[in-house]
Structure 1
Amino acid sequence: MAGKTSNSGSGDSGKAARKQSARERVAAARAAEQRAARRRSLITWGVSGIVGAAAIGGLVWRLSASDDSGSSGNGGGAAASAALPKPVAYGSATALPPWQLPQDAAAGTRAAGLKASDMEGTANHFHTHLDILVNGKPVPIPANIGIDAAAQSMSELHTHDTSGVLHIEAPAKRRYILGQLFNEWGLQLNAQQIGGLKAGDGKTLTAYVDGKRASGNPAAIELTGHREIALVFGTPGAKAKVPSSYDFPSGD
């Protein structure tokens, strides 16, 4: 009896051992599969991270290269093949100097085909200078042309002060003309007039670029980096000192 009991216990122990061994093999196989799955996941994420980092690096390089090419003072690096905007007749044809800011800044910005935002752009950044001489005397150019205080927005072409420095601070490459500034200022500008100042009866309107006389419509003069533009109105014999350059502050 004792022997039978002993044999039965031994058999049960063997079965239990075999069952335990089978469970261990299953658990080990599952653990191995989980480890393999984790390795595959890590490899996938690693490759994706490398590819993503390379793509981001390439994008940053392209953006940096683009910004570097546009920050010089040669007109913002705008493509030479890009077409100049065409002058648009907009604004007062009767107002006389000194000219003030328009009541509706946004309307002038729209007429000029320009965009306004709540911050300055950096992709296209340069400065031009404008002088207006009437009967030999300078006419002030107001601060905040192209700035809408009510909407807290700023056009890509604007002034900050009365120095005559025109700021082009845009989010993208493009070309600009003097007429766009006068659209924002709310004044008509063409070959025959500035606002209410009209050529005729012994009066003339002459435009100069870097001290040299420019023919045609002054509204079509392109704005480029460190260009000096002068509009001179009056009798041909009036003494007007036409500037050929402007001393831009360092870094402008």
Structure 2
Amino acid sequence: MSQQKKPTKAERRRSAQEKIAAQRAAEAKRKRNIRIASIGGAVVVVAGLAVLGVSLAGNSGGSAASSGGSTKITSLPTGGKPGAQSFDVSSQLLATAQNEATGQTIDGRVGSNNMEQTAYHIHAHLQIYVNGQQRLVPYGVGIVPPYQIQNNGSSYFVGGGSKFYYLHTHDETGVLHIESPNEQKYTLGDFFGVWGQQLSSSQVGPAKGTVTAYVNGKKISGNPSDITLTSHENIQLNVGKVMPFKNFDWSGSGE
């Protein structure tokens, strides 16, 4: 009996990028469904983003306030086409990478180099929900521009930059790459430090509210920044509304 051929890394990466494209297409369809006409012409109005409670302010300096564990989205990045210096600006992001570290060591242990380090090489997955809406981790966190971006039509993959942190992302799949010159304990808080975003039991990036964390399907207590990153670990953070844990399929990730 012949064995089924194992997908190549390129095929697995293409599959992951196709998932991103499908997700963006679904978001575009949702936005089209909420267009309304105004006097003098058609105006696109994004509705349904405001709910009571927690406040999600974008990187434009908007303020965030917490009340009752729900979410109010006050500002989000706007869309755009990335270039060599461009950060991910998808409207589906939790936050852009514009505040990310630029070469300095983070938390005394997360350094950077002009090449990826592979002596210690594992991957974890992070997905984030804010009041029930999934928010993506941007491509290029922990990769210092200028970017070398591969365009797959409707999704992007950062293949290079001027520096690589030991913790970084290449795309929007939520896969965190832990690539270090030596085996080291790294935490989710370290990754958020590289990202330039806050993480605590009451805040995830710009979103404030009660944070419920799951690791491999198990609810955990305490500060989510203390979660140790391990191989093929599945982490889910919920701000406000608690969503059922969703497992990540590593078989199609290429990692």
TM-score normalized by structure 2? 0.55
Q: Is residue 109–residue 183 contact of structure 1 (8 Å, CA) maintained in 2?
A: no
Secondary structure of residue in 2 paired with 1:222: coil
1:187 is the counterpart of 2:197: yes
SS of the residue 2:127 aligns to? strand
Distance in 2, matches of 1:180 and 1:112, equals 10
Tell me, yes or no, if the aligned pair for 1:145 and 1:159 is still in contact at 8 Å.
yes
Identity of aligned residues (%): 39
Aligned residues: 155
Distance 1:198 1:251, change over 3 A: closer
CA displacement 1:54-112 (0-9 Å, x = unmatched): xxxxxxxxxxxxxxxxxxxxxxxxxxxxxxxxxxxxx9995766311124532675356
Correspondence 1:163-202 to 2 at 5 A: 163-199=173-209
User: Partners of 1:104 and 1:162 in 2: how far apart?
Assistant: 16
* Letter of the structure 1 residue corresponding to residue 217 of structure 2: G
- CA distance 1:207–1:108, shift in 2 (3 Å): farther
Task: Give the Cα separation in 2 of the matches to 1:112 and 1:93.
Answer: 30
User: What is the aligned-residue RMSD (CA, Å)?
Assistant: 2.6
2:141 aligned with 1:138: no
- Aligned equivalents of 2:142 and 2:234: distance in 1? 20
Question: In the aligned structure 2, how far is the partner of 1:247 from the partner of 1:163?
Answer: 11
Q: What amino acid is aligned across from residue 101 of structure 1 in structure 2? A: A
Structure 2: state its 5+ residue gaps.
Answer: 1-58, 65-74, 77-93, 147-160
The answer for unaligned runs of 5 or more in structure 1 is 1-90
Judging by fraction of residues, say which structure has more helix.
Answer: 1
Q: Does residue 157 of the first structure (1) align with residue 153 of the second (2)?
A: no
Distance 1:136 1:108, change over 3 A: farther
Asked whether the 8 Å contact 2:213–2:236 carries over to 1, the reply is yes
Instruction: Call closer, same or farther: CA 1:108–1:166 in 2, change over 3 Å.
Output: farther
Distance in 1 of aligned mates of 2:248 and 2:236: 10
- Partner Cα separation in structure 2 for residue 154 and residue 160 of structure 1: 10
Please give the secondary structure, in 2, of the residue aligned with 1:176: coil
Q: Contact between 2:100 and 2:141, CA under 8 Å: does it hold in 1?
A: no
Deviation at 1:122, TM superposition (A): 1.4
- Specify the code of the residue in structure 2 equivalent to 1:171: P
**Which whole-Å deviations, capped at 9, do the CAs of 1:113-145 have from their partners, x for residues lacking one?**
311111111110010000001111110110010
Matches within 5 A, 1:1-252: 98-106=94-102, 109-111=105-107, 113-150=109-146, 152-199=162-209, 204-235=210-241, 240-249=243-252, 252=255
Greater share of strand: 2
